[in-house]
Amino acid sequence: MAKRPGLTRLTGTGNGSGSGECGQNDCPNVYATDRGSFVVQGELFDGFTPPDGEGLVEIPEHVLREAIRVLGW
């Protein structure tokens, strides 16, 4: 798993539960930043064009559920 400065990977940990079954670092994932925000990795979503400087990704529901579980919410 690649280390990304300032990010904590919440999903896709490869521990046999949640979205970890991918194991190739190309799965949808949710990361927590050191600034209290989140970064979402997933397939590009082209349902509409976001404003300049913004992007949209689409991730499966189970990935968000795993991130919420990891955070204890």
The pLDDT of residue 18: 52
- The whole-angstrom separation of Cα 52 and Cα 8 is 26
The 10s digit of each residue's pLDDT in 18-65 is 544 566 666 788 999 999 999 999 888 999 999 999 999 888 899 999
Domain boundaries, the chain: 7-71
The pLDDT of residue 19: 47
Q: Which residues contact 17 (CB under 8 A, 6 or more apart)?
A: 66
CA atoms within 13 A on the CB side of 2: 8
Hey, what are 28's tokens?
A: 């949808």
